[in-house]
Structure 1
Amino acid sequence: MLDSVKIAKRQSEIRQALAELVGKDKPTEDETRSMETMDTEYRNNEVRYRAALTAEDTERREAGADLETRSDREYAELVGRFELRQIAFALDEGRALSGATKEVVDELRNAGGYQGIPVPYAALETRAGETVSGADLPNPKAIRPVIDRIFPNSVAAKLGIERINITHGELAFPVATSGAVFGWQTDELSNVGAANPYETAERSLNPDHTGGAQMVITRKALKQSGEGLEAAIRRDLNAVIGAELDRVVISGAGGTEPLGIVPGAATYGITSTAIGAAASWAAFRAEVVAFMEANAITSPSQVNLAFDPAIWADLDEALIAGTAVSEWDRLTKHVGTPAISNVIPDASAIMTANVQGIAPGYLGLYGGVDLIRDPYTKAASGQLVLTGLVTADFTVPRGLQTRILTGLAA
């Protein structure tokens, strides 16, 4: 118990005792001496109480500052010690989880919604210093959590798409569709213009789309690979989930999967321009100008650009007449290095801009990976079938921040 609390409790006892003694008309000598003693103690306790509060105030502030950061820090440390091989053996043999792995799983289960064993996305990172036990298990090369790896090395990241982790429920983005207008007086007594209502529309992320990454682990791998198995599972889930999320951001068809940028252009209000000619800096420059005229950007360097490898080849091959400068050189001089990937549809390009801190698109990931065991499909050979369920959604808050070019072919 804190000293200040002890003193306050004692002061209350003294006040109660004094109240009983003061109420007597003729107190005895002992009672009079007792009142004097308690009065002296009470005054001394007041001094001690103020001193205790001063000393404890510093302790409270230090403890409060520690509590503000302890939760996130401790959870990150727990995830750093998360062992996927424990999950594999728990699903295969019913082995009990322990240590940091058990704590993280229990924390995720508190949010609910898992049929199997929940695995945090950050636990699928490829960690430094891992070794493998067989030639068929490749060496880890990156030190990144799965979500971070999906985006910095992907088209979605270079287009400025932002990832949001959602525990449960729906996340809505109110987007202004109408607002204030500026007007001048026509004469000294007239109004400056008609009032215009401020209106918004909502773009939402919903847990309506669930996909699964499946893998089969042989009995030999379970018995032989040891810690190398954990690295292999992590890399395998990392690669397949990352590639699919990157695809749906760009080309998701909607319905059973999230609606991506290209198929959802009309839904999101994205302008799509049919070029019908070979890719050139002039074609991209026209779209940059359109961004500027819409007050979305003030410099070409603020544009993010992505297209397929064939367009890169055409731009690099096309030389300006009488020079050794290619269309690719002109493009990268103003825009920077675009993302080149076959995730982008053939003969197409996507241009985005981050406006006032708002990303051109948001990918919502719900909770972690729900890892479920299938004990029947491969039971005859003792193989372990794992399914990692992922719930995700994608939306574009403002179509103004994205433009699509099609027909970029000679």
Structure 2
Amino acid sequence: MISMHTSPLSQPGSGDAGGMNVYVLNTARHLARQGIEVDVFTRATRPSQGEIVEVERNLRVINIVAGPYEGLSKEELPTQLAAFAGGIVQFVKCERARSGFEGYDLIHSHYWLSGQVGWLLRDLWEVPLVHTAHTLASVKNHHRSETDTPESEARRICEQQLVDNADVLVVNTSEETRDLVRHYDAEADKVAVIAPGTDTDLFTPGTARNTEQARRDLGLPMHSKVVAFVGRLQQFKGPQVLLRAVAALLERDPDRNLRVIICGGPSGAAATAEQYFDLARSLGISHRVRFLDPRPPQELVTIYQAADIVAVPSYNESFGLVAMEAQASGTPVVAARVGGLPVAVAEGETGLLVDGHDPEDWADALAQLLDDDDSRIRMGQDAVAHAANFSWSVTASKLAEIYSEVLTAGVPACRGREAAGLEP
């Protein structure tokens, strides 16, 4: 596997670490537990990491030095594609020399930067390339907020190359298949839809005592209604939508006993946590909002259990892992009707979907659940059963089936030359 721009071992919720980290780490873990040996290549970001991290049996993370450890933004990483690819080639060469390593059977790249490296290595090693985009430039630009910086045309061109050249494109939902066909002229029969999972052993519904303890730990009033946001602090994820919706709710009813948790760190060159602190202050709701740094999964459970509702106001999500984790923890979700969120959230059963990002519409949806205890509690109970249909072991098993199919099909030795009428 290749995950160049972010390590699966990084803390999700800030910088470039998010749902993709969760996806890569968990699929790799469960593939490894099914007997598939997995190496995940990522760019080294600090010298103390070491080159090889043994995560568990059959799973290693390989840190490749490509450019300076710190100070490179995601937008600058294309300058290190050659160095990163060269580092992988050198690592494999050394592995062959020291242990008789016979090479990889297949490459699975994640995100377009990794895909460019995977495309090169696929042709060098003559093995299949499976690619997962996670997000697409054309789709992000189509759904971006007015203040978001558009994705570059260079990225879109690179994604088009991967759509044209990968052996299989793995996506989370049928909506992503339609996006690939609509925006990139993908061949639908080259796309495999495999839903992500969630850790239902970790994310579990809390008892009344768990909720009480969770609120105590977080310093939240016991009898308040609590809405939580978990994710990176960037316009595309929509924390500003939630803050404005809460302000609208409190303007309608200043005595409403409502508290908000915002858990995450800034993401993007221009993003800062202060801009969200300032927004809450300017809206007059800073005394109702608690900002928390990103938390590991073991601590996120506490936030989900402490909340009455988890809000996911993103402008697009390929699936919505936060929504699934919240539901597994027994908390209903109010989410934007975009991307894979209508799959992740069973509308009217485990949460509500909102069209658009108008704060007044979000205030209406939040109020509908906050003021109807019976429906909210029922949705929380149904959410647990809904989340149980999604597991990482099933995701990994379906990925393994795709790997077997593409390995059986084989890779043409001289891809592209025959189509151009050239001699091998």
Q: Which has the larger radius of gyration?
A: 1
Alignment TM-score, normalising by the size of structure 2: 0.23
Taking structure 1 as the reference length, what is the TM-score of the superposition? 0.23
Larger relative contact order (Cα-Cα within 8 Å, sequence gap ≥ 6)? 1
Q: Which has the higher strand share?
A: 1
